[in-house]
Structure 1
Amino acid sequence: MLLAITLSKEFVFKFLRFGLVGFSGIFVDFGTTYLLKEKLKIHKYVANSAGFLLATISNYLLNRYWTFQSQDPKAFEQFGKFFGIALIGLLFNNLIIYILNDKLKINFYLSKVFAIAAVSIWNFFANYIYTFAG
């Protein structure tokens, strides 16, 4: 069965809210990454992954209660779905950074911005269709 997504008013508001939550997650992600990479001298991919994962947790909570206003009593199972999608996103994120930073020699943080933009699109649609579909 093919799921059709229409540009309803509700869909647009969810997309905008998801974007605002994602924007707040950028501060968590970049702040954590910067602290670990620059101040604590932890490897850039470990720092990037930690920032991404902390942002995922804060994003889940904000998206569950504000963006999608989920009442699903199985929050732990729902978080598992959200986290699984985020892990796939993390793979995309690190792959994009690897290509842009390591191969094309683009600044690490600029590469991270491109990675976040690309992964955000994946995250929204995957969560809209799968995690918060109820």
Structure 2
Amino acid sequence: MPPGFRQFLRFALVGVAGTLAQYGVLFVGADLLGASATWSSALGYLLGSVVNYLLNYYFTFASSKSHLEAASKFYVIAGSGWVINTGLMALFAGYWGWHHWLAQLLVTGLCLLWNFAGSKLWAFRHPATQQ
């Protein structure tokens, strides 16, 4: 199995933990409390990003960067992913009227690809590969 694929699998596994945090907030917010699915998802994404950063720093990428450098880059990627997540949830669930869980599943897949590419190519990239 190619190293890049193994790394993607670790990233996706870590993403499950962050996704569970996000989906938990979406469930409590939208399904139990009747809050906006868009904003419940957005708040959950923020919580999931903390889980994802810590697990990706130590487990997926075994980063040697300072947390200041790695976290600042990671949160540029995660912040733009948050905009993608929130914007698409507003479009799919809010404007088009899709069920929020269907919308969230599709948006999660798109954000997974975005976040992996940004994390691998920039946020956690090892200095030896930055030529």
- Common topology (TM > 0.5): yes
Give identity over the alignment, percent. 27
| 1:35-64 CA-partner distances (Å, limit 9, x unpaired) | 233334443333211100110000011111
Unpaired stretches in structure 2, ≥5 consecutive residues:
127-131
- Aligned counterpart, 1:105: 97
CA RMSD of aligned residues (A): 1.6
Give the match's secondary structure for 1:105. coil
Q: Greater relative contact order: 1 or 2 (C-alpha under 8 angstroms, separation 6 or more)?
A: 2
TM-score, L = length of structure 1: 0.85
- Aligned counterpart, 1:125: 117
- Aligned counterpart, 2:81: 89
Give the match's secondary structure for 1:69. coil
Q: Distance in 2 between matches of 1:53 and 1:85?
A: 12
Q: Does 1:78 align with 2:70?
A: yes
Q: Distance in 2 between matches of 1:131 and 1:97?
A: 25
Q: Distance in 1 between matches of 2:39 and 2:83?
A: 12
Give the aligned residue type for 1:88: S
The alignment of Structure 1 onto Structure 2 pairs a total of residues equal to 126
Q: Distance in 2 between matches of 1:121 and 1:16?
A: 12
Name the stretch that deviates more: 101-110 or 16-25: 101-110
Unpaired stretches in structure 1, ≥5 consecutive residues:
1-7
